[in-house]
A and B are shown apart, each in its own frame.
Chain A
Amino acid sequence: MPVRVGIPRYLAYFSYYPWWKTFFEELGFEVITSSPTTKKTLDDGVEEAVNDACIPIKLYHGHVVELKDKVDIIFVPRLVKVRKFFTETFCPKFLALPDLLRASINGLPEILDTRVDLSQGPLELFRISREVGERFGVGLSRISRAYLLACKALRRYKKLMQGGMLADEALQHMEKGGDINRDKKRDLTIAVLGYPYLIYDSFINLDIVKKLRKMGADVVTAEMVSPRSLLREAKRLPKQMFWHYSNRAMHAAYYYMNRKRVDGLIHVTAFICGPDAMLDRLMEIEARQYGQMPFLTVSIDEETGSGGVDTRLEAFIDMLKRRRVQR
């Protein structure tokens, strides 16, 4: 029986899943991904995780709980650096994630906590892949092939998102093919910014993106901007932040404020998120200073009722529409 490797459908999943899945499958593993987030995931997570943690960390625990009895190993990469960019790394909670899981969940299978630090150069990713493959006794040629295919899959995924697809749309497209019915243009364009695991997980964000679309607004995200364009905005910050996803969100905010004016910015943030305490205020200040860009923060906690969020979104959209008419 092939080794079953479990991939929690959360956190960095939304950024790298095609790579992981392709790689492990090409190595001959069976990949089992946890199911999309539900209330149960949240409940399990709240039960297991240290109670002072943010919801995303709790949700991740929930996904791990779902997988733990179904697989032989769970893949929880320790993301340290994915590019060489000032002092950028990840939120401390990402850095400690494998250790945290081990301390808080009983009866875990092996946690494959591959340390990913790509700041050393372009060959690093291959070196890491090789280490993982060899650990399971896979030959070099097969590893190389898996590596190349994985990189290709990720490139394709990113291209699709840059073309305007959301994460789930892009993943679906890659798996099932077919076209996403791109409907007609709407009146408003809103940039929805924040960490991928808040923007693209429709359970936890109460389906904000689809709701906005229904209300007549096109949604753009950080993933829809090419990395190069994002990097160009970096210099607007007096000092880069330390957290990869925060930098991306902030750079995207600058991009949508300056290069490709949108009608408004929405920042989706998790209750009690440390980096966001900084990021959110920064975005707010900058939105005000860059030509009065309308700005809304949607904060998500364990009990966010969709009622409250809906009214706020509607009010925001109404305001934008009025502004449009006035101009």
Chain B
Amino acid sequence: MKLTFPHMGYSYVAFKALINELGYEAVVPPEPSKRTMDLGVRYSPEFACIPFKVLMGTFLETIEMGAEMAISSGGVGPCRAGYYGVMHKKILNELGYDFDILIFEPPQSNYLDFIKKLNRVKPRGMSWRVFIQLIKKNYRKLEAIDQIEYLMYRIMPYEINKGDTYRAFKKALNMLDEARTKEEIEDALWEGRKIIARIPQDRSRNPLKIGIVGEIYVVLEPAVNFYIQRTLGEMGVYTDRSIWLTSYTQKNVIVEGRIGEHDIHQMAHPYLNELIGGHGINSIGETVIYANQGYDGMIQLAPFSCLPEIMAKGIMPRVSREVGIPVLTIFIDEQTAAAGVITRLEAFLDLLKRRREQKAQEACNA
């Protein structure tokens, strides 16, 4: 059977491996393009959020490529992502496609359902032990991918030859793509990190630091967010984002400063005292945290019409005022043009630079 899955940043490398190793044929979704968007927009409700539309487009593209079934994740709300599957299926059925979408709901919500669905993808004749090992191994691959991507953004603002870091990252990603066994994955990760860390750098720079928060999909998918982290990185800006598929940073980096999910909510409480779905509360809480860590500014990425992020945006001015950090909110839909975003980014960077200089001045005078 030919299986596909949603495209999210570089994670396809791990999903592809898992599906193939299970003995299916993976249909790797193309990186979201203008065509994906056009297809998605044509068949989606007008005010569906951009992840919905892109996913719709991806399904249509992968159906063309022969995919018979997709694996995707669900959710318990209250935001729309958890209802995507139902709607995608209904719409595709109306279009006459007999395409199945296997939606994995978070196991806590319905354990039995989760197992049943696992059982559906587990090839007959494969033992559970082997099956789980395969999943674990490829999860490790996913973590490795997160780690090298994370490293890329740390190094980028210091690179001497523009583009070096990204090229090194691609090389590392390729190595991970080719790694088969557990050991090979560890080796590739080790080697990959080395390649990225060793590009020529100018460590005397003191780059602007920007934290990126927002809705998970537009934060994770560079093709939809105008490659924002790479763009900023190559403009010499140090960026950090809070969301990773494997929560790599949550476990390793932020926790070093002892900050976990719970603390993020705690930080948000004076401003937003309720879980509102998506990453709404995180956007608020993390802004506070980044401000406390001395970041210069924040970028909030949000799909147009996104429920939790609109709320977060509405609350943001108060947060920004009280913790003293400028926030730029970028809403993304099919009409958002890259040029406009770049202009806004440049203006924002100017503002941050001026603020820094002002602060330095004040410090001098004091």
Point out residues on A near B: beta carbons under 8 Å: 49-50, 52-53, 78, 80, 87, 89-93, 95-96, 98-100, 102-104, 113, 115, 237-239, 241-243, 271-278, 280-282, 285
Per-residue 0/1 for B81-105: is the Cβ within 8 Å of any A Cβ (1 yes, 0 no)?
Answer: 0110111011100100000000000
B298 close to A (CB within 8 Å):
no
Contact B48 A277 (CB under 8 A): yes
B317 at interface by CB-CB < 8 Å: yes
Q: Which of B85, B89, B109, B314 contacts A100 (CB 8 A)?
A: B314
Which chain A residues border B276 with CB–CB below 8 Å? 92, 95-96
> Do B49 and A277 have beta carbons less than 8 Å apart?
yes
Segment among B4-12, B34-42, B302-310, B348-356 that sits at the interface with chain A: B302-310
- Are B82 and A274 touching (Cβ within 8 A)? no
Contact B307 A238 (CB under 8 A): no
Taking a contact as CB atoms under 8 Å apart, the answer to whether A99 and B274 are in contact is: yes
Contact check, B280 vs A92: say whether CB atoms are below 8 A apart. Answer: yes
Residue of B nearest to A102 (CB): B318
Which A residues are CB-close (under 8 A) to B123? none
Q: B271 — nearest CB in chain A belongs to which residue?
A: A99
Q: Which of B45, B90, B277 contacts A277 (CB 8 A)?
A: B45
Does B275 sit within 8 A of A, measured CB to CB?
A: yes
6 tightest Cβ-Cβ pairs between the two chains A and B: A242-B77, A50-B314, A103-B318, A277-B47, A96-B311, A92-B276
| CB of B79 closer than 8 Å to a CB of A | yes
- By beta carbon, the residue of chain A nearest B277 is A92
Chain A residue at smallest Cβ distance from B309: A52
**Cβ proximity bits B31-58 to A, threshold 8 Å, 1 near / 0 not:** 0000000000000011111001000000
Check A87–B318 contact: CB distance below 8 A: no
Q: What residues of B have a CB within 8 angstroms of the CB of A92 in the complex? A: 78-79, 276-278, 280, 307-308, 311
How many pairs of A and B residues are in contact by the CB < 8 Å rule?
Answer: 127
Question: Are A50 and B87 neighbours in the complex by a CB distance under 8 Å?
Answer: no
A108 to chain B, nearest CB (A): 12
Question: Known contacts A96-B280, A282-B86; can you find 20 more A-B pairs with CB under 8 A?
Answer: A52-B331, A80-B274, A87-B76, A89-B77, A91-B78, A92-B278, A93-B311, A96-B314, A103-B316, A237-B86, A241-B83, A243-B78, A272-B47, A274-B49, A274-B79, A274-B305, A276-B47, A278-B80, A278-B87, A280-B45
Residues in A whose Cβ lies below 8 Å from that of B85: 239
Nearest B residue to A237 via CB reads B86
Q: Are A281 and B274 in contact (CB under 8 A)?
A: no
Which residues of chain A come closer than 8 Å to B319, judged between CB atoms?
103
On whether the beta carbons of B76 and A100 are closer than 8 Å, the reply is no
Report yes or no: B83 in contact with A242, Cβ–Cβ below 8 A: yes
**A78 — which chain B residues lie within 8 A by C-beta?**
274
Task: State which of A90, A281, A282 has its C-beta within 8 Å of the C-beta of B78.
Answer: A90
* B273 beta carbon closer than 8 Å to chain A: yes
Determine if B307 and A239 form an interchain contact, defined as CB atoms under 8 angstroms apart: no
Q: Chain A residue with minimal CB distance to B103?
A: A239
A103 vs B311: C-alpha distance when bound (angstroms)? 10
**Contact at A95–B78, with CB atoms within 8 Å?**
yes
Q: CA of A282 to CA of B91 in the docked complex: distance in angstroms?
A: 9
* CA gap between A34 and B80 in the complex, in Å: 32
Docked complex Cα distance between A58 and B273 (Å): 20
* Chain A residues, Cβ within 8 Å of B313: 50, 52
Residue from the set B94, B277, B310, B313 with the largest chain A CB neighbour count within 10 Å: B310
A94 to chain B, nearest CB (A): 9
Q: Are A100 and B83 in contact (CB under 8 A)?
A: no
Q: Which residues of A contact B316 (CB under 8 A)?
A: 103
Are the CB atoms of B87 and A282 closer together than 8 Å?
yes
Which residues of the partner chain A approach B89 to less than 8 Å between Cβ atoms?
238
Min CB gap B322→A, angstroms: 10
Determine if B315 is an interface residue (Cβ-Cβ < 8 Å). yes
